[in-house]
Amino acid sequence: MTRDEIPTPALLLDLDRFERNIAKMAAHVKTAGKKLRPHSKTHKCPEIAHRQVAAGAAGICVAKLAEAEVMASAGVRNLLITTEVVGPEKVGRLVGVLARQPETLVVVDHPDNVRELGRAMEKAGLVLNVLVDIDVGGRRTGVQPGDPAVELARAVGREPALNLRGLQGYAGHCAHVMGFEERRRTSRRWMGRLMKTRELFEKQGLPMDIVTGGSTGTFNIDVELDGLTELQSGSYCVMDLDYRRIGGKDGGADYGDFEMALTVLATVISVPSAEMAMIDAGLKAFSTDKPFVPEAVEWPGVEYSWAGDEHGRLTVTEPGRRPPLGERIEFFPPHCDPTINLYDRIYAMRGDKVEAVWDIAARGRSQ
Ligand X SMILES: Cc1ncc(COP(=O)(O)O)c(C=O)c1O
Q: How many CA atoms lie within 13 A of 49 on its CB side?
A: 31
Give the count of alpha carbons within 13 A of 364, CB side only: 7
Select the residue interacting with ligand X from 8, 104, 129, 232 (CB under 6 A): 232
The answer to whether residue 187 forms part of the interface with ligand X (CB under 6 A) is no
Shortest distance in whole angstroms from residue 357 CB to ligand X: 24
When asked if residue 235 is in the footprint of ligand X (CB under 6 A), the reply is: yes
> What distance in Å separates the CA atoms of residue 210 and residue 59, rounded to the nearest whole number?
12
Among the residue ranges 13-21, 184-192, 213-221, 350-358, the one whose residues contact ligand X (CB under 6 A)? 213-221
Output 218 or 267, the one with its CB closest to ligand X.
218
The secondary structure of 77-134 as a DSSP string is -SEEE-S---SHHHHHHHHHHHHH-TT-EEEE--HHHHHHHHHHHHHHT--EEEEEEB
Helices (H) and strands (E) in the chain, counts: 10, 17
Select the span of 211-219, 255-263, 300-308, 320-328 touching ligand X (CB under 6 A).
211-219
Name the minimum Å distance from CB 236 to ligand X: 6
Q: Which of 40, 215, 287, 339 binds ligand X (CB under 6 A)?
A: 215
Pick one of 56, 111, 172, 179: the residue that binds ligand X (CB under 6 A). Answer: 172
Length of the chain: 367
Please tell me whether residue 169 binds ligand X under the rule CB under 6 A. Answer: no
**Per CB under 6 A, does 96 bind ligand X?**
no
Q: What string of DSSP letters covers 155-219? A: HHHT-TTEEEEEEEE--GGGTT-SSHHHHHHHHHHHHHHHHHHHHHHHHTT---SEEEE--STTH
134 vs 329, beta carbon nearer ligand X: 134
Is 175 a binder of ligand X (CB under 6 A)? yes
Q: How many residues bind ligand X (CB under 6 A)?
A: 16
Residues forming contacts to ligand X in the complex (CB under 6 A) are 39, 41-42, 61, 82, 170, 172, 175, 215-217, 232-236
